[in-house]
Structure 1
Amino acid sequence: MAKWGEGDPRWIVEERADATNVNNWHWTERDVSGWSCDCLRRLLLGVRIQGDEGACTITDLSRCDGEASINNRKGKLIYIYEWALTANWLGTSCSGVKFRGSLEVSNLSDENDLDELDISAALAKDTPPTPLLGLMKTRGVQEVRRALGDYITQLKSVTSSPGPAPKVTSSSSPSSFTLTETFQTTADELYRTFTTQMFVEAFTRSAAVVDGCRGGRFQMMDGSVSGTFTQLVSLHDHHADVMLTFAPRAEQTELTVTCDSLPVGTDDITREGWRRFYFIAIKQTFGY
C-alpha cells in the first residue's frame, strides 16, 4: 500500500499539467466504423465460388449498418463491433444464363462467434429457381463466413496500434499507362466492338450490359468490370479514366489505350489485362 501522498500516478491525471492518460489506465475509445465498412466491402467483393452448377460472385455491398470501435482500459484493447450487412450476388449457370440474388448477415458482432453468424442467401424477386441458389447457401455462405473472419482478424491487428484508425486509401498519386495494339480492321468496326453489347459478349464470352452512349453504363466479365462512358466520339469502388483512340492505317487500325488515375501499383497487371482480355480475345474472336 502506498504511503499518504504517494498515490499511484496512474490515478492522478487531473493533477498533471498535460492531463496525460498515464499507461492508458483510463478508458479511451476510437471509432473505426468507416474503416470497417471499407474493409468489409473489399473482402466481400473478393468472394467468388465455382461449382458444377456454374459460378457465383458477390458484386456489391448494398447495406453496411452498424459501428465498430477500439477501446483501451488499463492498457487492454477491447474491440466492440456490430454490423448488419446486405450483399448482392450474380450467378452464371453452365449454360450462360444469369441469375441475381442477395445475401444477408444480421448479427456480425463481438458477442457472436463466427459459427453463430446468421448468413442467408436468396434469389432476387421474380427470378426463376436455379441450383445456383443452393451453391450460394452452401459454399457461398462458407466463403462469406471466411471473409468476415478475415475482417475480425484485420480489425484486431491492423488497428491495434496507437493513433488514428488506418486509412484504406493510399496517399500516393494515382498511376497511369499507355498501351498500343494494331488490329486488322477498320476504325469504325473496332469502335463498335467496344460499344456494342453483342460484340462485347462475344469476345468476353460472358453476358454484358453495354449502353453505348455518353453517360451510358457498361458491365462485363460477370460484373468484375463496370463503369460509365464519359465521352464517345466516333472515328471512349477503385475507378480509372480510359481513353481509346482509333487511328486508321491503310487496311489496319492502330488502337491506343490510355489509362489514367489507376490505383497505385496496378499499372502492370492492368496493362496485361488489356492485352489478354481485350486485345487477344478480340483478335481470336473476330480474326482482326
Structure 2
Amino acid sequence: MAKWGEGDPRWIVEERPDATNVNNWHWTEKNACAWSQDKIKELFNDLEIGENELCCKVTEIETCEGEAVVNNRKGKLIFFYEWNIVLKWVSVESNEIEGKITIPNLSEENDISEVDIEITLKTSTNEGEKIKHFLHTKGKHTIREKLKIYVSALKEEFSKGMILPKKDNNNQNVVNSKTTINVKAQMNTTVVSSKNKSANYQIDTITVKQQQKFQCRAVEFFNMFTTVEMVQAFTKGPVRLEAKKGGQFELFGGNIHGEFVELSPEKIVQKWRCKQWDEGHFSEVILDIREKSDHTEVNLTQTGVPKTEEESTKENWDRYYWDSIKRTFGFGYFM
C-alpha cells in the first residue's frame, strides 16, 4: 500500500478512506444508453402538440438509435450523447392525417436550439399541410423543450456517485459541460504509473486484430490516414502529422502518438502508443490495405498492447477511428 512520500501521489490510498478511484484520477464510465432510450420514450410517447383546432399526437417512437455515456476524468464529468430519433404523429381530428418528426442530430455538439427537427407528411392535403406548418413554426418549440428535459435529466441522474469525495472535501462535484473536445480527445484507458519500475519490469502484452470494410478506393483510405486535414476531420481536433518514414504523429490531444515506420497505399506501419501506458512502451500497428472490386478491406494487427488495455484499445479503434471515419467521409457500413 502506498504511503505519503512514496511513489505517485495519485495512488496514495490515504486520500480516500475506502481506497476507491483515488483522487478521482482514473477514467470511470457509466453507460446511459438504456436509461436514455427509456427516458426519450417516456417524454414523447402520447405527447400532444397543439393550439386551437390544430392538434396532433405522437403515436410511436419509430427510431431511437445512438448512445450516451458519462465519464469521470480527474474529477470532472464529461457527458457524451448522440441520438437519431424518429417519431410518428397523427392528427387528433383525423387518423388519415399522419406523418413523422425526425431528430437526426441530438448530441452534445449542438445546442438544443441548433438541433435539426424535420417534419414530414405522409399524404399532402390542405388540412395536413396546415398541421405540418404548425409543427414547423410552433410545434418545434414543444419538441425542443422535451429534449432539454432529457439532457437535464441525464446530467442529474448520472452525476450521482460519479465524483467521489476527497479528503476534507466530501461534497465536491465538478461538472464539465464542454464535452465535445474533451471526450473525443481522450482515449478510454486506465492510468498506469510508470515510476519506480525496476529495470527488469516486463509488461504482459497481447495482440489486437480487427478487420474493417470501407466503400472507397485503397488510395482514398491511405490519404485519409496520412493527410493532416483529413485526420483532423475524423479525430475532431488538431493533430501533428509527418506522413513519411520516421515521421512523428500526435492525435487526440497527444494521447495517441508515435512514428511512421512504413508507408504505402497498401500498408501503413506505425510505432504507436497511448500516453498513459508505461513510459517508453510502444506497440506496433500494421494496417494492411487491400482494394477489392467494390470496397477496400483494412486489416489491423496491433502487437504489444498491454494486456490490461485489451478491451479499451479494441473499443477505441471502433469508436474513435472506424466509426468516426465512416461517419465523417461517408465511406459506409457493411452489414
> Computing the radius of gyration over CA atoms, which structure comes out larger, 1 or 2?
1
TM-score, length basis structure 2? 0.42
Using structure 1 for the length normalisation, give the TM-score.
0.49
